[in-house]
Amino acid sequence: MNFDLTDEQDQLRDAVRALGRRYGHEYFVRKAKAGEHTTELWHEAGRLGYLGVNIPTEYGGGGGGITELALVCEELAAAGCPLLLLVVSPAIAATVINKHGTEEQRKRHLPGLADGSQKIVFAITEPDAGSNFHRLGTVARRDGDDWLLSGRKVYISGVDEADHVLVVARTEDSSTGKLKPALFIVPTDAPGLEKSKLDMEILSPENQFLLYLDDVRLPADALVGESLDAGLPALFAGLNPERITVAAMGAGTGRYAIEKASDYTATRKVWGGRSIGSHQGVAHPLAHAAVQVELARLMIQKAATLYDAGRDLEAGVSGNMAKYAAGEAAALAVDTAVQALGGAGMTTEYGVATLLGAVRAGRIAPVSREMILNFVAQHVLGQDKSY
């Protein structure tokens, strides 16, 4: 088992780290508080090739895998710039289109996803069904050669920044009459598609939306893949990359918080002139958080390696475990950092409390810790399904 990155991966990590630190957390917070997007960082990352590292070279990407994209997610987060749309556009949408889209769809969308000039967001979650695709209420039906989509979606990230949204709907199988999942590439300005911004208690430059689809008319080629049979594989193709890159973003955020706290506690001196970090009551919680973050990083590396090797079932287990571990570790790291900094930890200036909402959300989305425990209990421990 080799834990060393390749020379190319090392260079990628260093380059992304330098880019992230050049912008930094102050930039991230300033954009979020102004209601603006991190457009400059996104476009520069795209121009430098970091957004397309997992996209094949023939479509303008770097030819790497989810391992490389996870490095990008982690390093930007470790610099204080956790970009959620990295998970949504390059990880989910680009993977789905590359693996299961038609050649025309790949040519149309992947080059723009690779250079950052195009964003495609992802819509699966619904107000009544959550992310349980077996109970989705969004339905696609045929109307001649076209499709008509109707339904609602909730907690859809970045719709206001995107050209298209990848919508998970259900269609009727003409041979069986049963509903089956299908994915559609929907322009965000399509007639019948309306969005409503959700007010969230998370400091982020990326917004969340409720979507309404009222007989949104789409051409036949909006369906991802050559036929409806591509729907289920296409849906699952995006879930493991989502888990892995969300975990990487969480691990990077944890690293950022621990670094900020460690720098502070090593230099802050009270009670006789000793640094507060010399006291075990301060040092041990930070050390414990650092251990948890590093353990999560190991599982992320395993999950990404398995995924890139085409071992999807094993990657599913490891990806869920990585997401669970990183979500817990990030929340612990940020909370511990705030506590170590005391009152300073709650100020915007010191840049850790600004992440509290995001890391708490990381224990809920894109799949809750409880559903991951259900998954592990069923698929690893052999227990009966509990839900």
Residues 6+ apart with CB under 8 A from 168: 122, 123, 124, 133, 136, 138, 181, 182, 183, 235
Q: Which residues of the chain have pLDDT under 70?
A: 130-131, 133-134, 173-177
Structure confidence at residue 138 (pLDDT):
94
Structure confidence at residue 2 (pLDDT):
82
**What single-letter DSSP state applies at residue 279?**
S
Distance CA 371, CA 72 (A): 27
Structure confidence at residue 145 (pLDDT):
95
Is 152 strand, coil or helix?
A: strand
Residue type for position 85: L
Structure confidence at residue 3 (pLDDT):
85
Structure confidence at residue 115 (pLDDT):
98
Contact in structure between 155 and 146 (CB atoms under 8 Å):
no
Residue type for position 206: E
Structure confidence at residue 246 (pLDDT):
98
Is 167 strand, coil or helix?
A: strand
Q: How far is CA 355 from CA 34, 60, 247, in A?
A: 16, 34, 15
Structure confidence at residue 136 (pLDDT):
83
Q: Identify the residue whose tokens are 């990628």.
A: 12
**In the structure encoding, which two tokens stand for residue 306, read together?**
């398995």
Nearest to 302 by CA among 235, 253, 256, 251: 251
Q: What are the residues facing 211 on neighbouring strands?
A: 153, 195
